[in-house]
A and B are shown apart, each in its own frame.
Chain A
Amino acid sequence: MTILVIARHTFKEAVRDRILYLLLFFSSLSIILARVLAVLTVGDRVKVVKDVCLASIAFFGALMAILIGTGLVYKEIEKRTIFTLISKPLRRSEFLLGKYLGLVLTLAAMVAAMTVISLAVVFLHTFTLEIQMLPAVFFIFLELMLLTAVAVLFSCFSTPILSSLFALSFYLIGHFSWGLDTLIRKTPPGIGRTLLRVLDAILPDLENFNIKTEVVQNLPLPSGFGLGAAGYAVVYTAFVLLLAVLIFRRRDFV
């Protein structure tokens, strides 16, 4: 229950962060501009609107996860509020998981807001409620949950700026790591290929959560995609959070 107390408090604290509203403003602007972009496009305009809307949710959601996730835990340490929190009957792991849960709740609220705006913009174009966009948003949210866990992990031992850089690198690597498959295929068998395979196993593959094309183009999803992607998100997030807890449990608060 203590985790929920921390989560509720973190949510209340995070939703007061101005940077969140700034990002929400720009994401809304980007979503609304999708309509303008569609006018300039030759071809299926609805697809362009949907694509830009989903891309905006993914991109600004990632920025929110990184910027808030890397700051909140660090702020507790820097401003020494953690001193009194840890003196209460609260385990360090409960504190960290409560913080994480609070951040996930905040992101859920923000993603929900961006989704409502997106659906409204698409509605203005098609006069139908395109709820088939929702599965894509759900998998974007899973990706953001993982990214938040990574941001929290880095903030356990690093400053917000460095943590943001690390988390951003994770995000970029996660979206381009599929290129390793091509490299592995083209590398002759040997140590090099083995190392690349190890790297491929360790590095995140955030494209696992990307079904924007399928949703926009109304294509069928690969069989077993939903369970596979959700399982990947749960296992990877749990692993990152476990790592964060292990680091946080042993660190000195000077």
Chain B
Amino acid sequence: MGNVLELADVRKSFRPGFIPKKREVLTGVSFTVAAGEIFGYLGPNGAGKTTTIKCVLGLVFPDAGTVSLFGRSPLNPRSKDRLGFLPENPYFYDHLSGREFLDFYAQLSRVDKTERAGRIDRLLRLVGLERAAEQALRKYSRGMLQRIGLAQALINEPEFVILDEPLGGLDPLGRKEIRDIILGLRAAGRTVLFTSHILQDIEMICDRVAIIVGGRILSQGRLSDLVSEKILFTEITLAGVDDASLADFGDRLQTREGRTLLKVFDETRVQPLLDLVRERGGRIHALVPRTQTLEDIFVDTVARR
């Protein structure tokens, strides 16, 4: 499948206020988003995630490098016909109701008048705001604004959706619902790029990720390629064996109410430990093998820099 989005060596700097010195925000960002995938754009606060997205949307102009959206300039309205966008901490027109707001954006997206009402109803249902449809947006909570923002991003049935921190401000149930919507978009053949600093969300639903730190992409690829299946260590909670006998197996982390939490780094030592516990008539309460997570990679990438 072709690429929906291509960024090549994008650089951007800003001049804060009257200070003549430029502050470099993006120092050569390159990545591609393929059609039909969920692409996670990951980075700590201030890493340049939102600036990258602004370059893609044509909200800021890169100093150097190229951005290609559906093979065209991001400023071309024909590219934007196929695009949906939800900003971080969205703010919309206070005086409009949810339905009026979606109608306004539907008109801007040139949605046919005959289709508009039906599509708005469908989207309000999708994001769970049917009951708040006639309510003014100034009365919406942050989570509700996030939901109506997602609805406006989908108003033109876009092929490519960019979501900037879409799960921020939502409760656990709301996050699951939005995650399901994103997965539903992929199932419908849409492409999604979303930024987050919540690693679990990205790990749960993304096909590929890029990690940006200090305006530079430090790591990118398929999640399965980035995250190793190798077991880093095994955490075992056991009882009935004295601490001295456990010293050879790994690091004892804590002992509480007769239970010892042991961290075993050598995978080959797990079976002998289990044998020892059985011999002594002890009990295994938990055995958790820890593989590498996206968080480990992220922390490692940020620390290496």
Q: Is the CB of B108 within 8 A of A2?
A: yes
CB distance from B62 to the nearest CB of A (A): 10
Q: Which of A1, A6, A87, A253 contacts B60 (CB 8 A)?
A: A253
Q: Which of B59, B77, B84 contacts A83 (CB 8 A)?
A: B59
Q: Is the CB of B77 within 8 A of A87?
A: no
A5–B110 alpha-carbon span in the complex (Å): 10
Within 8 A of A (CB), among B73-111: 75, 77-78, 80-81, 83-87, 90-93, 95, 104-105, 107-110
The answer to whether B33 has its CB under 8 Å from any CB of chain A is no
Q: Is the CB of A88 within 8 A of B109?
A: yes
Task: Chain B residues near A186: list those with CB within 8 A.
Answer: none
Which A-chain residue is minimally distant from B83 (CB atoms)?
A87
Which A-chain residue is minimally distant from B90 (CB atoms)?
A84
CB distance from B250 to the nearest CB of A (A): 51
A83–B153 alpha-carbon span in the complex (Å): 12
Within 8 A of A (CB), among B104-132: 104-105, 107-110
Which B-chain residue is minimally distant from A91 (CB atoms)?
B77
Q: Which of A2, A82, A88, A254 contacts B14 (CB 8 A)?
A: A254
Q: Is the CB of B80 within 8 A of A84?
A: no
Q: Is the CB of B108 within 8 A of A13?
A: no
Which B-chain residue is minimally distant from A85 (CB atoms)?
B108
Contact bitstring B48-66, A, C-beta under 8 A = 1, else 0: 0000001001111100000
Q: Is the CB of B109 within 8 A of A253?
A: no
- A5-B108, A253-B59 are contacts. A87–B80 as well, Cβ < 8 Å? yes
CB distance from B184 to the nearest CB of A (A): 21
What is the number of residues of chain A that contact chain B, defined by CB distance less than 8 Å?
25
Q: Is the CB of A252 within 8 A of B60?
A: yes
Q: Is the CB of A86 within 8 A of B77?
A: no
Q: Which of B57, B61, B78, B95 contacts A87 (CB 8 A)?
A: B57
Q: Is the CB of B60 within 8 A of A254?
A: yes
Task: Chain B residues near A79: list those with CB within 8 A.
Answer: 91
CB distance from A80 to the nearest CB of B (A): 6
Task: Chain B residues near A89: list those with CB within 8 A.
Answer: 77-78, 80-81, 108-110, 156
The answer to whether A250 has its CB under 8 Å from any CB of chain B is yes
Within 8 A of B (CB), among A1-26: 1-2, 5-6, 9, 12-13, 16
A145–B75 alpha-carbon span in the complex (Å): 29
Interface of B, secondary structure class, is mixed
The answer to whether B149 has its CB under 8 Å from any CB of chain A is yes
The answer to whether B260 has its CB under 8 Å from any CB of chain A is no
A250–B58 alpha-carbon span in the complex (Å): 10
Within 8 A of A (CB), among B123-158: 149, 152-153, 156
- A83-B85, A88-B108 are contacts. A252–B90 as well, Cβ < 8 Å? no
Task: Chain A residues near B92: list those with CB within 8 A.
Answer: 81, 84
- A16-B95, A81-B92, A253-B60 are contacts. A88–B105 as well, Cβ < 8 Å? yes
Task: Chain A residues near B78: list those with CB within 8 A.
Answer: 89
Task: Chain B residues near A252: list those with CB within 8 A.
Answer: 14, 54, 59-61
- A88-B105, A91-B77 are contacts. A81–B91 as well, Cβ < 8 Å? yes
A9–B104 alpha-carbon span in the complex (Å): 8
Task: Chain A residues near B149: list those with CB within 8 A.
Answer: 84
Q: Is the CB of A86 within 8 A of B14?
A: no
Q: Is the CB of B91 within 8 A of A80?
A: yes
CB distance from B194 to the nearest CB of A (A): 15
B residues at A contact (CB < 8 Å): 14, 54, 57-61, 75, 77-78, 80-81, 83-87, 90-93, 95, 104-105, 107-110, 149, 152-153, 156, 162
Can you report 22 A-B residue pairs in the complex whose CB atoms are below 8 A from each other?
Answer: A1-B110, A13-B93, A80-B91, A81-B92, A83-B87, A84-B86, A84-B90, A86-B57, A86-B59, A87-B57, A87-B59, A88-B105, A89-B109, A90-B80, A90-B108, A250-B61, A252-B14, A252-B60, A252-B61, A253-B59, A253-B60, A254-B60
Which 3 residue pairs across A and B have the least CB separation, nearest first? A87-B85, A89-B77, A252-B60
